[in-house]
Structure 1
Amino acid sequence: MRIKQISVSGLFGIFDHVIPLNMDERITIIHGPNGFGKTAILRIINSFFNSRNAELKTIPFKTFRFEFDNNASLEIKNTENAEESKKNNIVFNFYQPDLEQDYFPLKPMKIISDIDIRIGTLDKIIPGLERISPQKWLYDPTGETLSLEQVLERFDNVLPSSFKLKKEPEWLEKLKNNIHIRLIESQRLLNFVPNRSRWSAETPSMLSTVSAYSDELAKLMQDKFKEYGTISQSLDRTFPVRVVKQQSSVDLTDEQLRDQLNELEANRSRLIEVGLLDKDEDSEFQIQPQDIDESTKNALSVYVEDVEKKLSVFAEIASKIELLRKIINNKFAYSYKEINFSKEKGFVFTTLYKSSLSNSKTLSPADLSSGEQHELVLLYELLFKVQPNSLVLIDEPELSLHVGWQVQFLKDLQDITQLADLNILMATHSPDIIQDRWDLTVELKGPQK
């Protein structure tokens, strides 16, 4: 299920926009003057699908509509009620062909006594949160002032169950589960690290996002290596029996078998290059093609099948690491830096510049410039943090990119979209990002005078 068109009326009481999404190339770029609602549109999409209803209520609009590729549609109606001090009343209306309309009205949150008693502990549970009034908090990493409802929505995944808000109806929950939305935040250099246990005495912390993602990638690589080891043990245990039972490989020529062995060696070298295998890992890979004779052909054909199964564990993560390395090294070359990867450290940066006074040295991810960190975090999120077939919202990526990177951005994005199976909705002012792909753009216009 994919969103094929978005429309809004009465945005800021002024603008009506219709945005058809590019369903084929899967990248849609919206552009227009400041104040026409690019960021607001992305915020509404993210707020609805990620249940940030408090934020949704802060954006003035009359209706916002999603049309899906199965002919269903969802309309958000936003009306002011004079009897309730002009507070916005929001209703979700869901239309499906040949079915009755579903609807769900958002009502003001009523704080139950249990939450009311516990709200004083929120700034102890969530690092960077500072209480500035009975039901308002300052969130230091972004500088935002958040209401209680916004805090409960924003940090729902790390709060105890006693803080949970009203449950949504089943049809709305199902719809949101079918459409995955990821907003790439403009402030993305700090990462919230919750306690392993919600009741732990350990103090929660904020960590630089590049450091957190480096640790996360190391864990992903280690997990894949463990999975590889488990499969290897299972296959090795049954290898003799399967060789005995293997039928004669009359259709497999010596040349084909040599080609397969060469491909396995090339794949192994590739996995060593990206840090997923060690150089001395599995000496069994070192069988030479010239050693093949009729007596070993059956055994080698089973061996080839086994190794292909073992190495297939790494296929997806290896492709993502290779693309990340290619893009980053292309962009970071200007500052004489290179990225590599290891199962122990995740990101490994080294300087390329050498002189009589200095040799190449290893850098920590936090040693990168803020612009380099923004770029690395953005690319990592797209490749490793977003579910396949998600719609990713990117607001003004040019803010963290110099002109040379902007020129390359769309090409990099197309490569990532294809590999990670993503849809992109991006808002930008930069013609350097768009280049000659104005066919991917939708211009936001003001009302006719």
Structure 2
Amino acid sequence: MRIKQISVSGLFGIFNHVIPLNMSDRITIIHAPNGFGKTIILKMINGFFNSKHSIFWTIPFNNFRVDFNDDSSLEIEKKSENSNGVKKKDKITFTFQQSQSKPMRFTPIKVKDNIRPDLDFPMSMLDNIIPGLDRVAPQRWLYTPTDEILSLEEVIERFEDVLPSKFRLLRHEPDWLTEVRNSIHIRLIESQRLFNTSSQRHPRYFESSPPMSATVSEYSSEIAGIIKAKLTEYGTTSQSLDRTFPARLVEQKTAPNLVDEQLRLQLDELEKKRSRLIEVGLLDEDKSSDFQIQPQTIDESTKNILSVYIEDVKKKLSVFDEIASKIDLLREIINKKFEYSYKEINFSKEKGFIFTTKHDKKILSPTDLSSGEQHELVLLYELLFKVEPNSLVLIDEPEISLHLGWQVQFLKDLQEITKLANIDILMTTHSPDIIQDRWDLTVELKGVSS
């Protein structure tokens, strides 16, 4: 299932917006003046699909609707009931409608009503648990990385995954709502993306606080772990194939109907693939020399052995197919962009990202990169490695910290990524340089007609 249209009415009590998504090109760009609700719309989409409901209680709106490509729809309605001139509490209703089926409805309660009744702690402790959070009022905090003022409910909802278990919200939702949420994966990439709060929980929340770490360093460690995992899988696959090689060779009664040149061509292709994997840091050259076999003469017996061998090597190297394609594209895009500053990126299972200067081959830490370079690397890495296939990715203002040349190239890079990663993109921007000549991909949010 995919989202084909987003609409909202009464946003801030003023705006009515309809955003059809480009289903074929898979990239939709929202543009509008400041204050029209571009970022809020992304947060509302993320709020529903990732169970962060506080956005719907805090933002004024009447109706928010998501239409899917199977003709079903999800509608969120907000009403303020009045009695004898006195305004009552807001009421929010989720309604899911499938074709020819009875609508299914659910009324959520506010986050504060979902907080565990046994939660009893000094409010000041939240400052110690969450880096970047400063208390500015009895139940208000400033989150400095984004300059947002958050209520207690918003703090607990947003940082629930890094807080001790006793802070977890009590959720009571129908099964159909869970199924709707799980039908589409949504990932929001916000404009502030250079720092992350560690997700490691501490046994006693008052003893220490998780660090606010550089995202680029975390992702460097993460890609190293991904490479190591693939090498382990490669080793397991190799051992299994090597162990059964003699038996499979005996079982193969006749050699395949291949001429010598075809076998040599397949061996050449395997060697090229092996070299590519070495180049992107997925294989060590000294551990891969056994792939280099170039027989001078190929009789029927040799042909039989080579055919089994070639199929085995294909299976061994296929372990790396997906990650190699992603690393290759990331490496190509980053090296093209970093060329102006005479830097280049490579990868290893020990360090993850390896940055070197071109003139003297000096090794740089990921945090030595400029903020613009870190923004670009983090964004591209998230799109390639942090998003599941068929997800809708929400990107807020990708032009932040990107100089003009990178903005001009951004959409072309994004198109390559969407093809490889099989994802949809909905992004906001103020930059015509990002849009270039692709105004057909844009949706303009308009003000109130006079």
Q: Deviations over 1:269-289 (max 9, x none)?
A: 000000000011133212114
Amino acid at match of 2:60: P
Counterpart in 2 of 1:169?
A: 174
Shift of the 196–276 alpha-carbon distance from structure 1 to 2, 3 Å rule, reads farther
Query: Does structure 1 conserve the Cα–Cα contact (< 8 Å) formed by 2:201 and 2:210?
Result: no
Structure 1 residues 343 and 174, CA gap change in structure 2 (3 angstroms): same
Which residue number in structure 2 is paired with residue 64 of structure 1? Answer: 64
Q: Distance in 2 between matches of 1:439 and 1:198?
A: 52
- CA distance, structure 2, for counterparts of residue 393 and residue 250 of structure 1: 50
- Give 2:91's aligned amino acid: N
Corresponding residue to 1:327 among 333, 338, 342? 333
Residue 374 (structure 2) aligns with = 373
| 1:356 corresponding residue in structure 2 | none
Distance (Å, rounded) in 1 between the aligned partners of 2:239 and 2:204:
39
Q: How does 1:339-418 map to 2 (within 5 A)?
A: 339-353=345-359, 359-418=360-419
Using the TM superposition, give the Cα deviation of residue 202 of structure 1 relative to its aligned residue in structure 2, in angstroms. 6.2
Task: Indicate which of 245, 249, 263 corresponds to 1:239.
Answer: 245
Alignment RMSD: 1.9
Q: In 2, are the aligned partners of 1:128 and 1:139 still within 8 Å (CA)?
A: yes
CA distance in 2, matches of 1:139, 1:289: 65
Distance 1:116 1:137, change over 3 A: farther
Q: Look up the match of 1:145.
A: 149
1:222 pairs with 2:228? yes
The alpha-carbon deviation at position 387 of structure 1 amounts to 0.9
State which of 113, 119, 141 in structure 1 corresponds to 2:117.
113
Share of identical aligned residues, percent? 66
Q: Does the Cα contact within 8 Å between 2:128 and 2:208 map onto a contact in 1?
A: no
1:441 aligns with 2:446: no
Candidates 152, 177, 186, aligned match of 1:181:
186
Return the alpha-carbon distance in structure 1 between the equivalents of residues 412 and 127 of structure 2.
Answer: 42
The 3 A distance-change label for structure 1 pair 131 and 72 is same
TM-superposed CA distance for 1:345, in Å, is: 0.5
**CA shift at 1:230, angstroms?**
0.6
Task: Note the C-alpha offset of 1:259.
Answer: 0.9
CA distance in structure 2 between the aligned counterparts of 1:282 and 1:327, rounded to whole angstroms: 27
Which among 81, 86, 94 is matched to residue 92 of structure 1? Answer: 94
Q: CA-to-partner distance for each residue in 1:175-218, whole Å, 9 max, x for gaps?
A: 11111111111111112223366559664212111111000000
For 1:152 and 1:85, locate their aligned partners in 2 and report how far apart those are by CA, in whole Å. 27
- Given that residues 131 and 197 in structure 2 are in contact (C-alpha distance below 8 angstroms), is that contact kept between their aligned partners in structure 1? yes
Deviation track 1:118-166 (CA, whole Å, cap 9, x = no partner) reads 8665444433334445533333333333222212221222334432223
- SS of residue matched to 2:187: strand
Q: Report deviation, 1:104.
A: 1.4
Amino acid at match of 1:28: T
> C-alpha offsets along residues 319-366 of structure 1, whole Å, 9 cap, x if unaligned?
00000011001111011111111111011001113xxxxx23110100
* Contact 2:131–2:212, Cα closer than 8 Å, also in 1: yes
Using a 3 Å threshold, how does the CA distance of structure 1 residues 89 and 213 change in structure 2: closer, same or farther? same
Alpha-carbon offset, residue 255 of structure 1: 1.1
- Is the CA contact (8 Å cut-off) linking 1:126 and 1:194 kept in structure 2? no
Distance in 1, Cα, partners of 2:129 & 2:296: 63
Q: Which 5+ residue runs of structure 2 have no aligned equivalent?
A: none
Q: Which residue of 1 aligns with 2:263?
A: 257
- The corresponding residue for 2:132 is 128
C-alpha contact 2:195 2:215 (8 A) present in aligned 1: yes
Give the match's secondary structure for 2:400: helix
Amino acid aligned to 2:194:
L
Cα drift, residue 291 of structure 1: 5.0
Helix, strand or coil: the match of 1:347? strand
Describe the shift of the 1:26–1:289 C-alpha distance in structure 2 as closer, same or farther (beyond 3 A): farther
CA distance in 1, matches of 2:131, 2:244: 51
Q: Which amino acid aligns with 1:185?
A: E
Partner deviation per Cα, 1:415-436 (whole Å, 9 max, x = no partner): 0000001101111121111111
Secondary structure, aligned partner of 1:448? coil
User: 1:62–1:196: structure 2 CA closer, same or farther, 3 Å change rule?
Assistant: closer
Query: Deviation of residue 263 (structure 1)?
Result: 0.7
TM-score, normalisation: structure 1: 0.94
The one-letter amino acid of 2:289's match is S
Structure 1 gaps of 5+ residues are 354-358
Query: How big is the shift at 1:242?
Result: 0.8
Counterpart in the other structure of 1:17:
17
Q: TM-score, length-normalised on structure 2? A: 0.94
Partner of 1:155: 159
Residue 316 of structure 1 aligns to a residue in which SS? helix
**Aligned twin of 1:423:** 424
State the match for 2:315 in structure 1.
Answer: 309
Pair 1:170–1:122, CA change in 2 (3 A): farther
Question: Match of 2:103?
Answer: 101
CA distance in 2 between counterparts of 1:155 and 1:233 reads 43
Moved more, 217-226 or 295-304: 295-304
Alpha-carbon separation, structure 2, partners of 1:402 and 1:89: 45
**2:29 counterpart of 1:29:** yes
Alignment of 1:67-86 (within 5 A): 67-82=67-82
Partner SS state of residue 433, structure 1? helix
Q: Are positions 1:336 and 2:342 aligned together?
A: yes
Looking at structure 2, the residues matched to 104 and 40 of structure 1 have their Cα atoms a distance apart, in angstroms, of: 23
Which amino acid in structure 1 is aligned with residue 21 of structure 2? Answer: L
